[in-house]
């Protein structure tokens, strides 16, 4: 398997990867030093929700699936749905958490929308085709959810999603 | 529009004892590359597996691991398999310098999200069309 990779790697150039220490400093990604901290459950929930949104947009754009992508969608949808249910119950019993370090303060209806998104995602990942009116409902729900959370990337930036 | 292809049979491993963070990374990478992702909860087990079965193309590891931590893994991996890309992640700012000194290719500062993991795939796992942009950070 590793034989498929080129010997000299200098970045994603001309069908080769590159990673030569002389020319490629360590890449730094993620939070700024002053914002670094352990990831909390709210961080994971929002990240998984963003992933679910990308999965759904990819489906609506008719990007190819594949066995592992389907499995990933089903697993992610199940976890997002369970978290959304738990968070909605927490709000019902304890009210909104205004001290959350991640700033999550969504209304219960937001979590209902997230649950609906997860159910529909699970359905298309399992091969159930969504009729036009269901796809319209999915898009509308997706747009409402996206309005509530910050997104800095569009799926057109991610060309690897167009191949399976 | 540039053509993009994922490296054939790309092999990626994720090492983290925090199952919630690890599973999120695995879900995102599995979806991105449409391939199985190897998972380990400590550096020692991962090292034994790699020595026996071969090294993956990319290893994404927490700095804090039992027995053999992420920082200790980097030089061992680079010596055995220089072409393997090693990504270390941590919530401790001081670990960035240590990761660089050990020879890590990428430092991923917590908290991170989907965008950062997609960035890894786009940078290291996607092969671009020869006519495409030639900048590794484009």
Task: Give me the residue spans of the domains in chain A.
Answer: 40-162
Residue B133, in any domain of the structure = no
Residue B61, in any domain of the structure = yes
Measured between beta carbons, the chain B residues lying within 8 angstroms of A13 are 128, 134, 136
CATH code of the domain in which B50 resides: 3.40.50.2300
Task: Say how far apart CA B20 and CA B27 lie, in whole Å.
Answer: 11
Residue A3 has pLDDT above 90, yes or no: no
ipTM of the complex: 0.88
Q: Which residue ranges in chain B fall short of pLDDT 70?
A: 1-3, 128-138
Q: 């001290």: which residue's tokens? A: A99
Task: Say how far apart CA A43 and CA A8 lie, in whole Å.
Answer: 37
Domain interval for residue B86: 4-126
Residue B119, in any domain of the structure = yes
**Between residues 18 and 37 of chain B, which touch chain A (CB distance below 8 Å)?**
20-21, 23-24, 27-28, 30-36
- Burial class of residue B90 (count of CB atoms within 10 Å of its CB; 0-12, 13-18, 19+): buried
Report the 10 Å Cβ neighbour count for A104: 17
Phi, psi torsion values for A117, nearest 5 degrees: -60, -45
Could you tell me if A111 and A84 are in contact, meaning their C-beta atoms sit under 8 angstroms apart?
yes
Per DSSP, chain B holds a count of helices (H) and strands (E) of 5, 7
Mean pLDDT of chain A: 81
Residue B115, in any domain of the structure = yes
Residue B136, in any domain of the structure = no
Tally of domains in chain B: 1
Task: Say how far apart CA B69 and CA B54 lie, in whole Å.
Answer: 19
For A75-102, the pLDDT digits (tens) are 999 999 999 998 888 877 777 666 555 5
Q: A13 has which bridge partners?
A: A16
Task: Say how far apart CA B91 and CA A157 lie, in whole Å.
Answer: 27
E-strand ranges in B16-136 read 37-40, 58-62, 85-90, 106-109, 126-128
Please give the pLDDT value at position A103: 54
Task: Say how far apart CA A130 and CA A12 lie, in whole Å.
Answer: 37
Q: Would you state the structure tokens that stand for residue B17, as one six-digit string?
A: 């004892």
Q: 């991923």: which residue's tokens? A: B108
For A99-148, the pLDDT digits (tens) are 555 556 678 889 999 999 999 999 999 999 888 899 999 999 999 999 88
Give the number of A-B residue pairs with CB atoms closer than 8 Å: 186
Measured between beta carbons, the chain A residues lying within 8 angstroms of B33 are 68, 160
Check if B39 contacts A (Cβ < 8 Å): no
């Amino acid at each position: 398997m590793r034989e498929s990779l080129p010997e000299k790697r200098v970045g994603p150039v001309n069908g080769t990867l590159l990673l030569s220490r002389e020319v490629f400093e360590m890449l730094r990604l993620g939070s700024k030093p002053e914002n670094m901290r352990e990831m909390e459950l709210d961080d994971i929930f929002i990240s998984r929700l963003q992933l679910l949104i990308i999965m759904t947009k990819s489906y609506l754009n008719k990007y190819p699936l594949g066995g592992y992508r389907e499995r990933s969608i089903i697993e992610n949808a199940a976890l997002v749905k369970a978290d959304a249910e738990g968070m909605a119950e927490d709000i019902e019993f304890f009210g909104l958490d205004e001290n959350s370090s991640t700033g999550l303060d969504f209304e219960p209806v937001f979590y209902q929308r997230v649950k609906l998104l997860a159910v529909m995602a699970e359905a298309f990942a399992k091969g159930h085709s969504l009729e036009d009116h269901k796809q319209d409902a999915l898009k509308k729900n997706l747009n409402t959810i996206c309005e509530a959370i910050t997104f800095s990337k569009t799926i057109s930036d991610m060309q690897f999603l167009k191949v399976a | 529009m540039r053509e993009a292809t994922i490296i054939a049979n790309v092999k990626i491993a994720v090492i983290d004892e925090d199952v919630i963070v690890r599973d999120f990374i695995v879900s995102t990478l599995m979806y991105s590359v449409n391939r199985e992702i190897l998972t380990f909860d400590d550096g020692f087990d991962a090292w034994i597996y790699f020595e026996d079965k071969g090294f993956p193309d990319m290893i994404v590891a927490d700095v804090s691991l039992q027995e053999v931590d992420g920082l200790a893994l980097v030089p061992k991996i680079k010596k055995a398999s220089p072409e393997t890309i090693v990504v270390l992640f941590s919530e401790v700012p001081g670990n960035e310098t240590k990761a660089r000194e050990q020879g890590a290719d990428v430092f991923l500062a917590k908290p991170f999200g989907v965008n950062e993991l997609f960035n890894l795939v786009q940078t290291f796992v996607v092969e671009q069309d020869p006519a495409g942009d030639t900048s590794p950070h484009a």
